[in-house]
Amino acid sequence: MTNSASDLSDINRLLGAIDDVGRDRANGGWSRHLFDGAERELRTWFTEEAGRRGLAVETDRNANLWAWWPEPGPDAVVTGSHLDSVPGGGPYDGPLGIAAAFAAVGRLRERGFVPERPLAIVAFAEEEGTRFGLPCLGSGLMTGSINADLARRARDSEGTTLADAVAAAGLAPSELGADPQTLGRIGRFVELHVEQGRALADRDRPLAIAGSILGHGRWRFGFRGQGNHAGATGMDDRSDPALPAAELVLAARRIAKSVPGARATVGRLHPRPGGTNVIASAVDAWLDARAATDTQVRGLVEQISAAAEHAAAEEGCSLDVVEESFAEAVHLDSALSWRLGATIGDVPRLDSGAGHDAGVLCGHVPTAMMFVRNPTGVSHSPEEWAEPDDRAAGAAALADVLAELAGP
Ligand code: GLV
Ligand code: MN
Ligand code: MN
Ligand code: MN
């Protein structure tokens, strides 16, 4: 792994160019959601950077962006990640993998490398599922793991359907869905991603290869009670849905702690109508649950739901639980991961608590992932970070991997 000065400046120049896109300077976080102004700006950046490197750009039926070297074809070596973020997220979850891909292609071009099989950079649409609630939307639609009819009807917080958002972006909503032709071109997929924990910082190593990804899903808990006056209603005369919602938060912590390695989080709560002097009539709360096996995830959600049901009944509230997404636990491809290790050197193997498009692709094509050290260990937050030297080391390693996979 050697870095020339030009590699260092290339990935860092690429990332520097988008650093202000979707950035809220007041809270320091980045918000880039499917087809909003920031995400559209990043799509333009992607297209321009592809053009600069002579790559052919196309948008597929599911709003995923592709840049091909030299042109679309079978058995392609594909790398990339996503451009969107969580609300107020970090700068690199997603874009690091895409900037690294462009820097790697630039480095291979400089070396005079000519791919023997097609090489592509992809930006999958709405990986975080922030706008429409469906994580890995673009890769899930392409592979058919997300039902296109359900997806078309999914609504954002303003009530706009995905079908309408796609139409407004100039794509055909009727075309959304399984895309065997695009999927069929992918021979291998490698996603480079910023690490979302402290393992590499603790080991003093810049890069890792991924092992497995936790099973995970999202559930919406709809608590319904009696909206009422905060001052005029006696404490024994209430059906306040905030009470069972609070129990949901506590139960998620308590129950996940009883299963080794499991995680459960309520990161989003909507009391309605939302007045300080109003007992809410409804609270919607979203549970994110993850564990090493799908059975463990299902078990967690069952126990947490039972605790929330019990608390709702005690308060005279109703509860309706809807599964919004589920992704099985996966092991990334061992042979491809071994080949990555043989190419970039003996680096640590890390499992991923976060979900990725790589997890979706994994059931269809040989897929592997690389992680770049994050010294803060924090992600989905503005404190997420990767040092310029580590970003460059990631891009250089990715270039070696692409040369190995797409070369003679
Ligand atoms: C993706 O970032 C996830 O939430 O797992
Ligand atoms: Mn990501
Ligand atoms: Mn993420
Ligand atoms: Mn070879």
What is the ipTM for the molecules in this complex? 0.91
User: If you measure from the C-alpha of residue 12 to the centroid of ligand 3, how many angstroms do you get, rounded to a whole number?
Assistant: 20
Q: Could you tell me the sign of the dihedral formed by the alpha carbons of 268, 269, 274, 277, in that order?
A: negative
The string of pLDDT tens digits covering residues 78-90 is 999 999 999 999 9
Expressed as residue numbers, the domain containing 166 is 5-214+329-406
The string of pLDDT tens digits covering residues 163-188 is 999 999 999 999 999 999 999 999 99
Residues whose CB is less than 8 angstroms from the CB of residue 240 and which lie 6 or more positions away in sequence, other chains included: 225, 226, 279, 280, 315, 317
Asked if residue 271 and residue 226 are part of one domain, the reply reads yes
Kindly indicate the confidence band of residue 9, based on its pLDDT and cuts at 50, 70 and 90. Answer: confident
The string of pLDDT tens digits covering residues 237-283 is 999 999 999 999 999 999 999 999 999 999 999 999 999 999 999 99
Domain boundary among 297, 327, 357: 327
Which ligand sits nearest to residue 339's alpha carbon? Answer: 4
Domain boundary among 281, 306, 327: 327
Closest ligand 1 atom, residue 355 Cα: 5
Ligand 1 pocket member 357 (CB < 6 A)? no
| Mean pLDDT calculated for residue range 374-394 | 98
Which ligand sits nearest to residue 400's alpha carbon? Answer: 4
Average of per-residue pLDDT values in the chain: 96
Domain boundary among 270, 303, 327: 327
Asked if residue 336 and residue 318 are part of one domain, the reply reads no
Ligand 1 pocket member 354 (CB < 6 A)? yes
Note residues around ion ligand 2 (Cβ under 5 angstroms).
93-94
Asked if residue 333 and residue 195 are part of one domain, the reply reads yes
Residue 223 belongs to domain with CATH number:
3.30.70.360
Kindly indicate the confidence band of residue 8, based on its pLDDT and cuts at 50, 70 and 90. Answer: low
The string of pLDDT tens digits covering residues 42-68 is 999 999 999 999 999 999 999 999 999
Asked if residue 386 and residue 303 are part of one domain, the reply reads no
Asked if residue 58 and residue 106 are part of one domain, the reply reads yes
> Does the pLDDT at position 121 exceed 70?
yes
> Does the pLDDT at position 318 exceed 60?
yes
Which ligand sits nearest to residue 116's alpha carbon? Answer: 4
Asked if residue 395 and residue 356 are part of one domain, the reply reads yes
Q: Please count the CA atoms within 13 angstroms of the CA of 313 that sit on its side-chain side.
A: 6
The number of distinct structural domains making up the chain is 2
Closest CA to 162 of 33, 40, 327: 33
Asked if residue 82 and residue 226 are part of one domain, the reply reads no
Ligand 1 pocket member 128 (CB < 6 A)? yes
The string of pLDDT tens digits covering residues 136-150 is 999 999 999 999 999
Asked if residue 195 and residue 59 are part of one domain, the reply reads yes
Note residues around ion ligand 3 (Cβ under 5 angstroms).
93
DSSP string, 13-61: HHHHHTTTTTB-TTT--B---TTSHHHHHHHHHHHHHHHHTTPEEEE-T
User: If you measure from the C-alpha of residue 327 to the centroid of ligand 4, how many angstroms do you get, rounded to a whole number?
Assistant: 33
Asked if residue 225 and residue 83 are part of one domain, the reply reads no
| Mean pLDDT calculated for residue range 22-31 | 92
Asked if residue 358 and residue 287 are part of one domain, the reply reads no
Residue 208 belongs to domain with CATH number:
3.40.630.10
238 touches 228 (CB < 8 A): yes
The string of pLDDT tens digits covering residues 294-317 is 999 999 999 999 999 999 999 999
Distance CA 24, CA 332 (A): 35
Asked if residue 164 and residue 43 are part of one domain, the reply reads yes
